[in-house]
Structure 1
Amino acid sequence: MRNSGLKLNIVSYNILIDGLCKVGHIDVAKELFHELSFNGLEPDVYTYTIMINELSKERLADEAHQLFRSMGDNGCSPNSCCYNVMIWGFLRNGDTSKATHLLAEMGGKGFSADICTATLFMELILSEKS
């Protein structure tokens, strides 16, 4: 696309990164993510959420959390969806302590868990009581 003279914007990058993640090319997606600043662009909350979700799916929860925490340094604050994705990542990787901590932080910022996150927490509570 670039060779054809097309200038990519953040939406184009988000689509490419998401598509690459969906077909299992996370390393290429990570390269594109890091390439953004070289092309005068900054990742937005959607770009971060895509990467955090994929890193969590790949069992790279620490890397996902590091990326999540770096958002503010790049002038991009997580939204409710991004928090939910990060909490899901912790729960998916069996780290209920970090998920619970992040849920409390999320509430302190005025966000709430979505139905999927709330359901996962309920299932975990019920399974611990069994």
Structure 2
Amino acid sequence: MQKNGLELDIVPYTILIDGLCKAGHIEVAKELFRQLSDSGLKPNVYKYGVMINGLCKERLPDEAYRFFGSMEDNDCSPNSCYYNVMVQGLLRNSHTSKAMQLLMKMVGKGFSADAFTTNLFMDLIVHSNKSILL
């Protein structure tokens, strides 16, 4: 695209990164994310969300959590949607303690868990109580 004189903005980068994550090419997606800054473009909340979701799906929740933490460092505060994405990713990857901590931080910022996040926590509680009873 650049060779044809087209200026790349955040949208094509985000689409490419999303596609790479969905195709399981997470390392290439991370490199493209890094190149974004080198191109003078600033990642937005949605772009971070794409990376966080992709990393969680690839079972890399610690790396996703680092991306999540770097959002505010780059003047890109997470909103309720992306707090939920991160909490869900942690829960799906059995990082319950970290998910609880993030949920408390989320609530402290005035956000609430969405229905899907709430259901994940409820399933966790139900399954933990069953194992205690057995």
> Could you say whether these structures have the same fold, taking a TM-score greater than 0.5 normalized by the shorter chain as the test?
yes
C-alpha separation in 1, matches of 2:5 and 2:30:
23
User: Aligned residue for 1:9?
Assistant: 9
**SS across alignment from 2:3:** helix
Any residues of structure 2 matched to 1:5-84 within 5 Å, and which? 5-84=5-84
Deviations 1:19-78 (A, max 9, x none): 111111111111110001111101100110110111111111111111111111101001
Amino acid paired to 2:118: A
Write out per-residue CA displacement over residues 99-118 of structure 1, whole angstroms, 9 at most, x where no aligned residue: 01101110111111111100
Aligned residue pairs, count? 130
Query: Contact conserved, 2:24 with 2:58, CA < 8 A, in 1?
Result: no
Greater Cα offset, 19-28 or 95-104? 19-28
Spell out the pairing of 1:80-91 with structure 2 (5 A cutoff).
Answer: 80-91=80-91
Query: Structure 2, unaligned stretches of length 5 or more?
Result: none
Which 5+ residue runs of structure 1 have no aligned equivalent? none
What is the aligned-residue identity percentage?
A: 63
- Could you tell me which amino acid in structure 2 is paired with residue 109 of structure 1? K
Measured in 1, the distance between the counterparts of 2:92 and 2:5 equals 41
Q: What amino acid sits opposite 2:70 in the alignment? A: S
The Cα RMSD (Å) is 0.8
In the other structure, the counterpart of 1:114 is 114
Give TM-score scaled by structure 2 length. Answer: 0.93
Partner letter of residue 5 of structure 1?
Answer: G
Alignment partners' CA distance in 2, 1:65 and 1:45: 14
Q: Which residue of 2 aligns with 1:105?
A: 105
Amino acid at match of 1:81: C
4+ aligned runs moved over 3 Å, structure 1: none
Give 2:49's aligned amino acid.
T
Which structure has the larger Rg over C-alpha atoms? Answer: 2
